Amino acid sequence: MSVGLRARPLRAALSALGIAIGTAAIVAVLGLSSSSQAGLLAEIDRLGTNLLTVEAGERLTGGKAELPLEAPARLTHLGDVEQLAHTGLIERANVYRSSLIPAAESGGLQVRATSLNLPAVLGTGVARGRWLNAGTAREPVAVLGAVAARRLGLERVYPDARIWLAGQWFNVAGILRPSPLEPDIDSSALIGYAAAERYVGYVRLVGGEGKAGPPSSIYVRTMTGHEASVQERLATTANPAAPNETSVSQPSDVLTARAAAAGAFDSLFLGLGVVALIVGAVGVANIMIISVLERRSEIGLRRALGATQGQIRAQFLGESILLAVLGGAVGVLAGIAATAAYAGSKGWAVVIPVEAWTGGIASALLIGALAGLLPAVRASRLPPTVALRTV
Amino acid sequence: MSTVLELDGVTKRYGEQPPVAALRGVSFSVRQGELVAIVGPSGSGKSTLLHVIGTLERPTSGVVRIGGVDAAQLSDRELSRLRAREIGFVFQQFFLAEHATARENVADGLLYAGVPAEERLRRADEALERVGLADRATFKPTKLSGGERQRVAIARALVGKPAIVLADEPTGNLDSATGASIMALIRELNAAGATIVMITHDAELADGLPRQVRVRDGQVVSDCP
């Protein structure tokens, strides 16, 4: 059955290449989208879905609302809340690499006052240097989010690293790892509430006494499984006076949506794979038609040796299917290799959906059968005497 | 001696308007163990005659019996079976598969006769030995001389022990010395029992065979001795 393929291996390989590329593209597209989804789901697993965020919303009359100063303390007492952290966005403060940078070039970075347990609650940690402690939280010391550090040109922490924050120098103590649940933290410079009060003037007067604040975002870890019940009570507890001026969200929802989006494969590339498959099918059909013309004397000889029409048809159809399936198998392996290489570089688990490789082989089989049908029928209908006539 | 091939009033016409008659009522028979030359100039219809005898073409009218079976009554499948088991072909152009060894080429003679692969190769070795090429079994046709290639083709025709071997100008592509050795082989195989019908345009070559059927314009003009 493989006679025609072994007789001309280079030509067979080239004509199977189209099918190999097509199946490789399809398998890689499906494999990569599944692998990236698996990667995101693993990250969601690691970060947990029990984080809820309370933020200041809009006032009914327009303008930005504020959370009450005592909101974090109140939420601590809420049932099923395991721990919480909070940050206060200091809108009038900006952060620069040095005092010489024009004020307009703030780089889209934020300055936030933070509670000291923020990394633990968000499931992140310091990539370099140190997090704030009770001492440094009172001093002009900042910790940078991952994006903020990159934009400020601080890839590592050295002893006298400084940034220009709200009109004065702050030392940089550390750099955080990326925080997928709260991307806002990534682009922030974080300082202690005490430092914010003392150096930036982030303060509210309560009963004639200044207190640092108010917080703008409160991050609440609930007991696992109680997210919904806690979520219902968050707004009224945080701001009983105006519960509708707070917004409550579940950041893992965003990641879950991203995972779903990643799982939805790129239809453009899938389309390209299908086009490559069609081109490959035309290539196989082409080579089979040419091979029927070239192998007329072989067909005649086989008829003389006693091959029936059905046997000739089966031979050419079989060769076409074999060619296409070989191409498909090579393509599936290449697609898996490409997926494994890319997923490996991203640290994702390699996930090849069963439909991807079975579909690849099955479509190659189908293509081989379709592409070989016409040439095979032609070969079988060739009268033996015509086939034996030398050209 | 039993009759292995019998033609009775065989005609063959090609085309419609007007039909061209290639055979106009050919009748003769070949008995087992005979060596017959069918001889005639080009255009005499001898190739068509060979095709009809070999069941590669059906006659327009008349009867072709091979081993007593009327070929006209058979389906494609039955005809194929007849060719696989009862008829061996030797062609002027050899028609060997170039990527396969001599042994594999000879074994292909049994490909459609329902013989297992191992048995095919064993019998191919036997057949190669009969044509004096036992030492060339693993050679590919490209490494063989023209005479050796024709011997491989003859071995392929003989390997199934067919009732009749049809040879179409078997020496046509060979020089005279090689051609003579092939003729000697054919006579030798005939002496060992093979029934052989050979087509040639070479009257001299035909005269060297025991029986000559002369064909001209689609008719048998003489059948001697």
CATH number at residue B35: 3.40.50.300
CA distance A90 to A201: 9
For A296, nearest residue in chain B (alpha carbons): B95
Peptide bond into B18 cis (omega under 30): yes
User: Of the candidates B144, B147, B192, which has an alpha carbon nearest to the alpha carbon of residue B165?
Assistant: B192
What is the three-state SS of B8-66?
A: EEEEEEECCCCCEEEEEEEEEEEECCCEEEEECCCCCCHHHHHHHHCCCCCCCEEEEEE
The span from the CA of A387 to the CA of A376, in Å, is: 14
Token pair of B38 as six digits: 């069918």
- Mean pLDDT score, B55-59: 91
* The total number of structural domains that make up chain B: 1
User: Which of B51, B80, B85 lies at the smallest CB-CB distance from A307?
Assistant: B80
Q: Which strand (E) or helix (H) includes residue B215?
A: strand B211-216
Let me know: does B3 contact B164? Beta carbons within 8 Å. no
Complex-level ipTM: 0.92
- The answer to whether residue A306 neighbours chain B at the CB level (below 8 Å) is yes
Decide if B80 and A306 are in contact by the 8 Å CB cutoff. Answer: yes
The residue with tokens 């050209």 is A391
Before B59, cis peptide (omega within 30)?
A: no
pLDDT one digit per residue (tens) for chain A, 391 residues: 456 677 778 888 888 888 898 899 889 888 888 888 888 888 888 888 888 999 888 887 877 888 888 889 888 888 888 899 999 999 888 999 988 988 888 888 999 999 999 998 988 889 999 999 999 999 999 999 999 999 998 888 888 889 999 889 999 999 999 988 888 999 999 999 999 988 988 888 777 777 887 899 999 998 888 888 888 888 888 888 888 888 888 888 877 777 777 766 677 878 888 888 888 888 888 888 888 888 888 899 999 999 999 999 999 999 999 999 999 999 999 999 999 999 999 888 888 889 888 999 999 999 999 999 999 999 999 988 888 886 4
CB A57 within 8 A of CB A125: no
Of the partner residues B54, B81, B113, the one whose CB lies closest to the CB of residue A304: B54
Q: Phi and psi (nearest 5°) for B110?
A: -105, 5
Q: Before B225, cis peptide (omega within 30)?
A: yes
Q: How far apart are CA A74 and CA A95, in angstroms?
A: 31
Q: Do A390 and B93 touch (CB under 8 A)?
A: yes
Residue among B166, B203, B4 at smallest CA distance from B88 = B166
Intra-chain end-to-end CA distance of chain B, in Å: 17
B83–A310: do the CB atoms touch at under 8 Å? no
Contact of A348 with A257, CB cutoff 8 Å: no
Q: What percent of chain A has pLDDT over 90?
A: 37
- B56, B98, B100: residue with CB nearest A303: B56
Domain ranges of chain A: 3-44+263-388, 50-260
Residues of A in contact with B109 (CB under 8 A): 305
How confident is the model over A336-380, as pLDDT tens digits? 999 999 999 988 888 888 988 899 999 999 999 999 999 999 999
For B113, the 3-state DSSP assignment is: coil
In angstroms, the Cα distances linking A336 to A24, A33, A40, A266, A340 are: 8, 12, 20, 17, 6
Domain with B132 in it: 3-224
CB-CB neighbors (< 8 A) of B91 in chain A: 301, 388
Nearest CA in chain A to B84: A306
For chain B, say whether A385 makes contact (Cβ under 8 Å): yes
Distance from A324 to chain B by nearest Cα, in Å? Answer: 22
- Give the single-character DSSP code of B151: H
Per-residue pLDDT tens digits for A54-110: 988 888 787 788 888 888 988 888 888 889 999 999 988 899 998 898 888 888 899
Which of A7, A309, A310 minimises the CB distance to B99? Answer: A7
Q: Are A67 and A238 in contact (CB under 8 A)?
A: yes
How many A/B residue pairs have CB atoms within 8 Å?
67
Query: Is B109 close to A297, i.e. CB distance below 8 A?
Result: no
